[in-house]
Structure formats: C-alpha cells, structure tokens
Structure 1
Amino acid sequence: MSFNLKYDQGRIRKYHYFMLLSLIQKHKQISRTQLAEITKMSNTSVGKIIKELMNDGLVIEVGQTEGEVGRRAALLELNPAGTYIVGVEMDWNAIHIGIVTLTGEVMEKKYLDFNAKQEAEAVLERIAQEISGLIGKAGSEIADKIIAVGVSMPGLISWPGGEALMVPQFHWENVPIKAYLEQKLDYVVYVDNHVRTVLLSESLFGNMTEFRDSVCIYVGSGVGGAVMINGEMLRGYRNTLGEIGHITMEPDGAMCDCGRLGCLQTFVCSSEIEKQAQKSMKEVIAAYERKEDWAVRLIDRAREYLGLAISNAICMYNPQGVLLAGPMMEEFPALGDHIQAITNKYVWAPLRNSFHIIRPSIGKDSGVIGASALVLDEFLRFSNDDI
C-alpha cells in the first residue's frame, strides 16, 4: 500500500478522490465511463483518480461490461482487503467487537459478556484491551490498514464529541467514550446511537441502498428512530432527532418510564407490553398465536399505534423507505403484518403508497457492521452529496 490511511488524512481527503470512492461504494460495480457521465468529469481525470484509488488499494477491477460502441469496459468495485474498520456494539448484556471490511464483511470478531453494573471506566478499559488483542490476532496485514473505530450503543450520545450523556440501560451519565478510547488506542473513534448505525448499515450494505430518503423505527425494550435525507443522517440540535418513542400518542394514556403519559413506547415496546400483560413477551406471543383475546387485543393495539407512528413520520420527513428494525421486529415479525395498509389508513392522502416498508437484511453481526458503517459514512462524506 502506498500510504497509511490512518495518518495520511491530508492527502486522501481530496474532493474528487472521495466523490469517486463514494460513487463506487453506492453502485457496487461501475465503469470509468459511467463515473465520468455521472460526475461530468473528463475521462482522463476520472482515469487518473481511479489509478490513484487502485494504487492505494481501495478499488479493484472485477470483470468487464459492454461499452457504448461494443468495446469492453472494466468494472470497478471497492477492495474488501483495501482497508478495515473496528466495529464495537455495546448492548445491555454483551459487547461485540469485530474487524470489518469496507464492504461490510466481518473478518475477526469477539463476543464479551457485559455487566451493566460495572463502572464505565472498567468497561472502556476492557474494550480497549480487547480491541488491541483482536487487532494483534488479525496480524500486521490487516492491522496496518485499520483506519478508525466505530462504537454503537443505546442512549443519548453527543455528536461529534462521542460522550454518553445518558444511557439508562447502563446507568451511565456523561461518560467520555470517544476521548477515553482514543487515548488508549491511538485511533480516531466515532460513537453514536445504535438506531442510527442500524439505518446506516442497511443504507450502505443492506436493504435500504436504493433509498436516499429514509426513516428507521427501532422497536425493542424501547422505541427509537433515525432519519436520513438525501443520504445524510439528520441529528438535530442535541443529536436526539428521532426519539419517536417519546412522542405523545394519548395524553391520558399509560405512564411511561420517562414520567410522562401516553408515549408511543407504552403501546408497542416489549417492556411495556410485558408490564401491562404481567407476562413475558414469549408468553404474550404464544397466547397471541393461540388467538387468546387479551393477547390479540394487546398486539393489535401495538400494530395500530405503530402504523400511526409511521404515518406521522412519513408526513414529517417524506421518506421513500421505512426500515422496521429491532428485537421486537426480529423475534415477533407478526407485529409488522399488514403494517403498510394500517399506515396508509392514517397517512395524509397525497402520501399514500409513496413509501416502502422494509425489513433489515443484515443478520447477527448487524451491530458490529453498523458501528463500522458509522466510520465508513464519515470516511465517504467528503463526496458530493448532490450526486
């Protein structure tokens, strides 16, 4: 490799360099001629930059396609072995660490048990040690090409400061995750909420690649959201845009754990359904499948409020794709049955059928891949957002 990506940021952050790299990532396979047509750059300029990208090991040629006048044109794609990202997923009971390629393939990984009662510094120290160990195990060929570390976790996270302002699941407040890990690891570290990383990973590698305007609604023990417009993640003033779980749906509804009445999550999240049923979610699902009236009422109500929430998000953000993700959607996919029709029932008429409701495609490593997608998105953001 002609340079070290980690330290030579000044050279690689050239506008056209990243614009072409971003387009190759977006299209997966594309020719030089097609890149010139999209960017309005000359074939010569495109050729020079592609040569640079290939010399840097980021792009490779993979076969050929027919050119406009019958000539064969080489296809370009990202080089999976060109550079790597460390992805870290912090969940309430486990920490997952992986080394991920630019194309979203997990090369090395390690799962750690996580005790949320531990002090934050002890947890971060262990994460730093485990990352160093995993990089060492991967060998110098991979270690020398790691560009940054991404961390995906629940809670309110400052951006770009990477401070965990409040993580109720861990009982953390004002924990400087980015600063601590950067000091220990000597890598740039990006930290963000796990719902955003889910949407980013599906947008870069999964079922949302064709949608530039998208919304993610994440249903688990709580409800979260994320929004991308023209391929750009929206964050809001305090990086809390998308907290759809705390939108008031019924002013006189049930008490939410936030202390307010009738929040969306009191109707659809697993912890609230369990509280109201006085049974585990598995028992509720089993009763629903047996068509017991009380369980059918609970789940039908949850589905109705979920459709209503999606319709509100569509009116606010006009997305083309709506990603339904999270443990509730994975473990109980019936919650999403008929959701398009329910949403259309509530949405403003001009927007009816303007959207696609999508399920995630990335499997068990989605958290680690999502954390790496956070880095890749930053890595590519020097491109032309209008293209």
Structure 2
Amino acid sequence: MATNEEALAALNAVMGPDGRTPLPQSGALSGLSIHDDKIYLSLSVSPDQAKASEPMRLAAEQALKALPGVTAAFVALTAERPPQPKPSQPLTSHGDAPAQGPGLDHVKQIVAIASGKGGVGKSTTAANLAVALAALGQKVGLLDADVFGPSLPMLFGVSGKPNLASDGHLLEPFVKYGVKLISIGFLVPDDAAVVWRGPLVMTAIRQLLRDVAWGDLDVLVVDMPPGTGDVQLTMAQNASLAGAVIVSTPQDMALIDARRAIAMFNQVKTPVLGLFENMSYFLCPHCGGRTEIFAHGGAKAEAEKHNVRFLGAAPLDLKIRETSDAGAPVVASAPDSAQARPYFELARAVQDELNKGKRRAPVFSAV
C-alpha cells in the first residue's frame, strides 16, 4: 500500500493552480487519504481558477495512479462558489450537452433508472431491463451509480477488479448476459464502508461514466441511488441523459417520493420516460393466486396525473428474488417465465420512448 509520503512525493511533479508551484506546496490540497490500494485526494481552488484547473486534477490523478500498488485514484476538484440562487429562480439552458468524455464517445443514449426512496426494487429493475434490452438486440451497458450501496456485483454474480483497456487509461467493463458492467463495488471490498463527502462522490461518478471503455453502445442504463441528491445532479450535469425511468411500489409512501423524483428530473430538464410499478402484486408459488399486498395501480394513477407513460408492473415474487440473489436476473435465467415478461414489456416501452425523442438532454443550471 502506498504511503502519504509517497503520494505527496508523486504530486511534487504536478504544478499547482499558478502553474509554477508544486501541488503539495500550492495550498490547493485539502484532503488526502489512502485505503488499501486506492488513493482519494481533494483539491480546492478559487472559483476563477476552477475551469483552468481541470488539467491539474487530471495530472494529479495520473501521478497517483502511477504509484506501485495503486489500482485507482479519485481526485476531486472543488471551488468556493458564490451564493446560490433561491429555489424559485428559473432554470436557464447553458447550451449543448456536456462533453461526454472518452469513454462515452460512442454511447448513443443514456437512461437513468431512479426512485425517490430505497427498497422499491430499482436495482433489480435496472438489471433486468438491461438484460432484456440486450436480448432484444441492443448493445447495452449498465453502470451502478449507487456509490454507497452498490448491488450490481451480486445481481450479476461478478467479482474482482476490472482490467485496464488497451489504451492503458480506461477501465475495461465486465461483460455478462450481453451487458457491459461497471460498479464501484468492483473497486471497493465487500465489507468496506464508503465514507465519502460530496466532492469525492461526484468525482467517482464522473470517472465511472467517462473513464470506462464502454465502446459502441445503443443504451447505457444507469442504476441511480435513491433520492434526489449529489449523484442525481452530477449525472444530469455530466451526462447527456436521454431520459429517466422512475421505479415505485404501489403504496402512497413510495409514491410521494416518486413525485419528488419526477420533479427533480423535470427541474434539470431530463425527460421522464415513465413510471414502472414494482412489487405490484404477489404471485403464490403454490397455487398461482394473485394478492395485491401493497395495494395496486398507484404508479399507473401517478403516471396519468403527471402525464407520463405507465411502463408496466412487476410482481413481488420469490423467483425474482432468488434469481437476483444468485447473480442470474430472471430475464437471463428464465426469459420465458411470467416473472420475466414485465421486464421485456418495460424494455420495449423504453425503446419506444427513446425512439420518440432521439435526442440528448441539455444541461441546465440556476442563474
């Protein structure tokens, strides 16, 4: 494992914001930590230096990655910002979508799978949607953007650390069931808690987006964490989202948070492709009887209320849970089953909505 002294010595070769002073003596370092074979660095500059300091951040990242035994380096760049506007102020377009970065150059459309709260089956939905899209002939990638609770490694039964691509800079995603996969879970031990502040989280998300050799993809599915916080805003600001799918369960408690998720995507001008109702009903494994445990139809009514498409409903079913825990999503392990059918219907609906738009979302910020 690299030491703090070795990291600082490597950073001496990187010039600070003024272009002359070595980074460790420049006053821009605001945090350095090392965990196993990964290094986390925070840099802080003044607002007028922020745009010009991106090469410095990249140089620091490369210097740390070059240290023996270091498998990943996360360098966050922050700048003190002027007072933020009141929420009531309008959103204004800042023009075209952001630069995608080398890893996303050949990704046609990016779709976020989101929810207002946790525990609604969003990750299971994202995994089965990705596999279903691949089965329908699409070139698909799946990014697990839930930094604090990554579930993609378990859902696909994949472990280990990704290799570097042939260019020596980008990460090579794993591939299973025809889907290219990347997750922070491949870079952090299973029993390690990710205790990061916002800047490191945002940097990690940007790197997982841009520093992966995704290659030619028709759709990149992004499994978002629950809520409407840093990761959602980072994704909206750093990737040209073609749309978002909101996942909810039928009960009012979940639907309240689904409304917040819709409002958040509306605020950042990302099209909401529709609502998908998970755990919509229970199918008895013995008699096949149907019981609506959490009520039924709440997501459909909410979709109609917000004038967005209802994308279908999946049951609360033992087979879906078992296949997910076994690393074989039901769409891959039992594609002809009644449990897989809702996910294929979801995939076709998402394709239909994407074909209607055929565009990337612009980046919006408050002024």
Shorter-chain TM-score bucket reads: under 0.3
Q: Which has the higher contact order (CA 8 A, sep 6+)?
A: 2
Normalization by structure 1: what TM-score? 0.25
Structure number with bigger Rg: 1
| Structure number having the greater helix percentage | 1
Normalization by structure 2: what TM-score? 0.26
